Structure 1
Amino acid sequence: MAGKITLYRAPTTVADAEEIADWLRERLAADVAVRERFLDAHRSDDGGAPSTEELAEQFAEARVSSPYERETGNTMLGIRRYEERTLDHPERAGGVLYDGVGVQRALNAAIPESERPLDHLHVALLDRAIGTWGDHDARWHKRVNLLGQPAIVSVPGLYEAPAKPEQYYEEKQKTALLSGDAPPREVLESEVEGEFLVADDPRTTEALKGYVLQAVHCWRTGEGFCEEEICRLSNPHRQPGVVEAQLRDPEFCEAHAESYE
């Protein structure tokens, strides 16, 4: 399936959208373009696109208030003003989890009508943490990506969503019991054995290539994630699995190597 893919930068992160786009071009018969941050490219206070105030309202409605409460949203004036500030100054954002489906709905509505043909996929690298509600355990779960239109790939989700090695949490709990406070993340990362990605990890761009391709693969074929743990199209729930799938050879299982190598 040929078509067009538009990849949007996340300039406050270390993710290199141009490198990801080049990697996609080597594997796809598609026109891959790179644009500025989605929330800048499709936002206007002069009409023709959602305004800062409108987008801020939608992000406020998508805020997760508790990991164990299904209902989302806090549209108090102070929260809306915070969301407006972070739209203009994204480096100030952080520490908030958003309902990924709610964010995706808002971003979908912001795509111009002329850019909504079925053969045009938008993929937004996002500097926000997103989650989905788990009916099986009645809690929110952070996600790295959300497939669909537009597809969302959360850069902080890469570090936060897949679980780290058990020793990481054991050391964190032990230090908290002894000192009454959790140790700095940097201390834990230096003491815990095992492979996992951390904030601003130099391997971020390489790892995100597979998550972007997952969105493209779903758009091209209608298929979900791959069941083979060694494949870039798999969706592991633990950090060692992310390292194995995204940063180790082979890149793909035998079935998907035919399409993407």
Structure 2
Amino acid sequence: MPDRVTLYRAPTTPADADAVADWLAERVPATVAVRDRFLDREDDGLAEAFAEARVLSPYEPETGNTMLGIVRYEERALDHPERAGGVIYDGLAVQEALRERLPADERSLDHLHVPLLDRVLGTWGDHDGRWHKRVNVLGQPAPISVPGLYEAPAKPEQYYKEKQRTAMLSGDTPPREVLEEQVDGEFLVQDDPRTTEVIKGYVLQAYHYLATGEDFCATEGCRLANPHRQPGVVEAQLCEPEFCEEHAPRYEA
């Protein structure tokens, strides 16, 4: 069981790591601390590691493009993360690259590291032969993709119907902002002011996994659940009660 948890800020996102740390500290028997951005460090090999983790095709498991231009892009993305975007990275490969960069005396499972990232992470699905965007990757460290929060869980069905209808009428896909205004339903949008509140549950999932060996709760509406659709995320992370009957005694403040 972790007796220390360290969160890392993602300053280009609306996620408030300090607020998340305060919330977590009230619920777990661990010392919770916050550090600056994990990727904000001088590391000549980190840009190449992200280049190697790039997903090249939604339907091909192979990753990586270390051509000079791609590595240069990743260097700029590390220095100026607000300019990056539109790329999916293999979440397990990113996790391994970050693990290698943990301080040697902080790699044990009693000190959990949770980097909040401004990158979109994914995992390969052998069952359907395609990449799936993810919010978090459990383990040590446990990276959490803040943009994945908006992109990974599927939006309400009406969102995609409206997107298809508008494309058929105009011959072009409407901007995301337009669709978000047109479609009723509960879902998170980019830079959503509810981001910090939702991220709390995903950080707790990372702690719970190392503390118990359990991945996700099967009960819809529990903050330890892993819904694949946006309305389920809203229910699990923003609605009462916070936890199911099994996990409430352990984590309710």
Shorter-chain TM band: over 0.9
In the alignment, what sits opposite 2:171?
180
In the alignment, what sits opposite 1:47?
none
CA distance in structure 2 between the aligned counterparts of 1:241 and 1:27, rounded to whole angstroms? 23
CA distance in structure 1 between the aligned counterparts of 2:211 and 2:219, rounded to whole angstroms? 19
Asked whether the equivalents of residues 7 and 17 of structure 2 are also in contact (C-alpha less than 8 Å), the reply is: yes
In the alignment, what sits opposite 1:102?
93
Aligned-pair CA distance for 1:193: 1.3
Q: Deviations over 1:200-224 (max 9, x none)?
A: 0000000110001000000111111
Is residue 154 of structure 2 the alignment partner of residue 163 of structure 1? yes
SS of residue matched to 2:39: helix
In the alignment, what sits opposite 2:38?
38
Aligned-pair CA distance for 1:118: 2.4
Asked whether the equivalents of residues 2 and 109 of structure 2 are also in contact (C-alpha less than 8 Å), the reply is: no
Structure 1: 4+ residue segments shifted above 6 A: none
SS of residue matched to 1:22: helix
Aligned-pair CA distance for 1:117: 2.5
CA distance in structure 2 between the aligned counterparts of 1:36 and 1:63, rounded to whole angstroms? 24
TM-score, normalised via structure 2 length: 0.98
Aligned-pair CA distance for 1:112: 1.3
CA distance in structure 1 between the aligned counterparts of 2:225 and 2:64, rounded to whole angstroms? 31
Q: Deviations over 1:114-171 (max 9, x none)?
A: 1112210000100000000000000000000000110011000000000000100000
- The amino acid that maps onto 1:237 is H
Unmatched segments (≥5 aa) in structure 1: 45-50
Q: Which has the higher relative contact order, 1 or 2, with Cα contacts under 8 A spaced 6 or more apart?
A: 2
Is residue 22 of structure 2 the alignment partner of residue 22 of structure 1? yes
- The amino acid that maps onto 2:105 is S
SS of residue matched to 1:254: coil
Aligned-pair CA distance for 1:2: 5.5
In the alignment, what sits opposite 2:52?
61
Asked whether the equivalents of residues 109 and 140 of structure 2 are also in contact (C-alpha less than 8 Å), the reply is: no
CA distance in structure 2 between the aligned counterparts of 1:56 and 1:184, rounded to whole angstroms? 30
In the alignment, what sits opposite 2:237?
246
**Match among 213, 219, 228 for residue 222 of structure 1:** 213
The root-mean-square deviation of aligned C-alpha atoms, in Å, is: 0.8
SS of residue matched to 1:83: helix
The number of residue pairs the alignment matches comes to 252
CA distance in structure 2 between the aligned counterparts of 1:93 and 1:199, rounded to whole angstroms? 14
Unmatched segments (≥5 aa) in structure 2: none
In the alignment, what sits opposite 1:83?
74
- The amino acid that maps onto 2:36 is E
Aligned-pair CA distance for 1:55: 0.5
In the alignment, what sits opposite 2:123?
132
CA distance in structure 2 between the aligned counterparts of 1:25 and 1:89, rounded to whole angstroms? 31
CA distance in structure 1 between the aligned counterparts of 2:164 and 2:246, rounded to whole angstroms? 42
Identity across matched positions, percent = 75
- The amino acid that maps onto 2:27 is R
SS of residue matched to 1:105: helix
Is residue 188 of structure 2 the alignment partner of residue 197 of structure 1? yes
- The amino acid that maps onto 1:87 is L
CA distance in structure 1 between the aligned counterparts of 2:59 and 2:2, rounded to whole angstroms? 42
CA distance in structure 1 between the aligned counterparts of 2:29 and 2:2, rounded to whole angstroms? 5
TM-score, normalised via structure 1 length: 0.95
